[in-house]
Amino acid sequence: MKQFLVHKINLIELKGKGDFLCPYCGTKISPDDETEEVYSLLEPKVKNNALEGLLIRCNNCSNKILLTGFSVLENI
């Protein structure tokens, strides 16, 4: 079984509408995709009742990605 590092992506640093490529295989991951065909939601990271991060898995390569930057986005 392959083991991957968890890649960290800060949503604040993304340009455009929030789409990004999986850092391992290059699959396009879009926040608009609600089907879980491309990626799966694994675990929310919550601190003091605020979403700090979201752990997802690329369904193409099984790489885990930690999305951060939600606290700043909530203030927009």
In a domain, 53, yes or no: yes
Rg (CA), the chain: 12
Calpha distance 76→72 (Å, rounded): 7
Looking at the 3D structure of the chain, how many domains does it have? 1
Cα–chain-centroid distance for residue 18? 10
For the stretch 17-76, pLDDT in tens is 889 999 999 999 998 888 989 999 999 999 888 899 999 999 999 999 999 988 765 555
**Cβ distance 62 to 6 under 8 Å?**
no
| Residue 30 belongs to domain spanning | 7-74
In a domain, 2, yes or no: no
In a domain, 37, yes or no: yes
For the stretch 33-48, pLDDT in tens is 889 899 999 999 998 8
pLDDT value at position 15?
A: 87
In a domain, 1, yes or no: no
Calpha distance 52→62 (Å, rounded): 22
pLDDT value at position 74?
A: 57
